[in-house]
Amino acid sequence: MQGDAEQLLREHGLQVTAQRLAILRAVSSRPHGTADELIDDVRAVIGSISRQAVFGTLNVLVEKNLLRRIQPAGSPARYEDRVGDNHHHLICRSCGLTFDIDCIVGAAPCLVAEEDHGFEIDEAEVLFWGRCPSCKRTGETDTPVG
Amino acid sequence: MQGDAEQLLREHGLQVTAQRLAILRAVSSRPHGTADELIDDVRAVIGSISRQAVFGTLNVLVEKNLLRRIQPAGSPARYEDRVGDNHHHLICRSCGLTFDIDCIVGAAPCLVAEEDHGFEIDEAEVLFWGRCPSCKRTGETDTPVG
DNA sequence: AGCCAACAATTGACTCAGTCTAATATTTTT
DNA sequence: AAAAATATTAGACTGAGTCAATTGTTGGCT
Ligand SMILES: [Mn+2]
Ligand SMILES: [Mn+2]
Ligand SMILES: [Zn+2]
Ligand SMILES: [Zn+2]
């Protein structure tokens, strides 16, 4: 999802703005970052941006499938530019540290439910929960950080 | 998790109150209900209860493992009294309708990540996402309801 | 039965993450 | 360069939940 971000935006019928470019770059250099983390990153680069511009842009980019949003329990939403595959996530219950886990199957839905209750299932989302090496060491308690 | 709720509370070192009993019964008769739904249910039965009492009780019951909390993206937390197994969930993207999906393996974590990054993984949470029969029919758009 | 300490419920303010709206500014088309 | 389309901003607002102080209830112990 790197390369010509400008191109990418245009291809999806979006206007090219400094804010959007900066947001794309921020997501790319901080995978699984929260909106607030990304706001800080973007401000460090382009000086200033409104909260709403960031939320709005993240929304439109997710909608256009240029970004993916994950919403793990106890955390604000996180964003990544690794889209179009069906990877999963490994999350530390204490500090929220998040890793990508490659899907063994590849395509979604990568697991089948025994009983589908008539649903049209399009995804099997898998979240591996645990404790990261550093939180294990320090005996950190369960207070996931945003 | 039915039977003598009073007993159950005592066994876990919790005082028995009308509120707690009513909340337990409400969760049991509305699996995967949200806090606000449960508040309504409880009020219909015992007349009145504070929001805080419900949130507080749900918290302590989850902590003591008498209830389980699930937090699907785009929905407030949901509660159920089916604990101690490792079942999964099937959720409608449009209306939030939620079903239990039995785990094929049984014990958690029921899936192994290819790379564990040194984590101590205790759970593999699986959420099957899709569209329920009724939302399929009416072509409902993706606006999960609380 | 009555007392008391521990525990629970209520109230109301507050937080966090995010949305809505109207006004302004920037991009893109013509 | 002007107009139309789209994006950004500021600020009020919402939903879901928490925090802290006060009041009320429960249950163990004389
Ligand atoms: Mn990822
Ligand atoms: Mn369930
Ligand atoms: Zn950690
Ligand atoms: Zn549905």
* Cross-chain residue pair A126–B129, CB shorter than 8 Å: no
Digit-by-digit pLDDT tens for chain B (146 residues) are 434 999 999 999 999 999 999 999 999 999 999 999 999 999 999 999 999 999 999 999 999 999 999 999 999 999 999 999 999 999 999 999 999 999 999 999 999 999 999 999 999 999 999 999 999 888 766 665 55
B34 beta carbon to strand D: under 7 Å: yes
Q: Per-residue pLDDT tens for A2-53?
A: 348 999 999 999 999 999 999 999 999 999 999 999 999 999 999 999 999 9
Strand A33-34 and strand A68-70: pairing?
Answer: unpaired
Q: Cα separation of B35 and B24, whole Å?
A: 12
Q: Locate B122 and state its tokens.
A: 């205790």
Q: Cα separation of A75 and B122, whole Å?
A: 18
Residues in chain B: 146
Q: Looking at chain A, which residue has its C-alpha nearest residue B87? A: A113
A35 beta carbon to strand D: under 7 Å: no
A45–chain B nearest CA distance, Å: 30
* Cross-chain residue pair B111–A120, CB shorter than 8 Å: no
pLDDT score recorded for residue B96: 95
Q: Cα separation of A112 and A114, whole Å?
A: 6
pLDDT surpassing 70 at residue A144: no
Domain-wise residue ranges, chain B:
2-70, 84-138
Q: What is the dihedral of CA A58, A59, A63, A69, to 10 degrees?
A: 70
Residue A143 vs residue A71, higher pLDDT: A71
Residues 6 or more apart whose CB falls under 8 angstroms from that of A110 comprise A86, A103, A104, A124, A126
pLDDT averaged over chain A?
93
- pLDDT confidence tier of residue A135, bands split at 50, 70 and 90: very high
Q: Quick one: CATH architecture of B2-70? A: Orthogonal Bundle (1.10)
* Whether the Cβ atoms of residue B72 and residue B89 lie closer than 8 Å to each other: yes
Ligand with smallest separation from the Cα of B94: 4
Q: Is the dihedral of CA A25, A27, A29, A35 positive or negative?
A: positive
pLDDT score recorded for residue B41: 98
Among A113, A118, A128, whose Cβ lies nearest the Cβ of B128?
A: A113
How far from chain centre, in Å, is Cα B133?
22
pLDDT surpassing 60 at residue A66: yes
Ligand 3 geometric centre to CA of B102 (Å): 29
pLDDT score recorded for residue A138: 80
Ligand with smallest separation from the Cα of A92: 3
CATH no. for A84-138? 3.30.1490.190
pLDDT score recorded for residue A145: 57
Residue matched to tokens 């009513």: B22
pLDDT score recorded for residue A38: 98
Contact residues, chain A to chain B, C-beta under 8 Å? 69-71, 73-74, 77, 88, 90, 92-93, 99, 101-102, 104, 109, 111, 113-133, 136
Contacts of the segment B5-11: beta carbons below 8 A, 24+ positions apart: B8/B66, B9/B66
Q: Cα separation of B52 and B39, whole Å?
A: 10
* Whether the Cβ atoms of residue B34 and residue B75 lie closer than 8 Å to each other: yes
pLDDT score recorded for residue B142: 62
pLDDT score recorded for residue A43: 98
- Report chain A residues whose CB lies below 8 A from the CB of B103: none
Enter the pTM of the model.
Answer: 0.93
**Nucleotides in D strand less than 7 A from protein CB:** 6-11, 15-20, 25-27
B74 beta carbon to strand D: under 7 Å: no
pLDDT score recorded for residue B145: 57
- Report chain B residues whose CB lies below 8 A from the CB of A125: 126-129
Q: Which alpha helices (H) appear in chain A, and where do they start and end?
A: 5-11, 18-29, 35-46, 51-63, 133-138
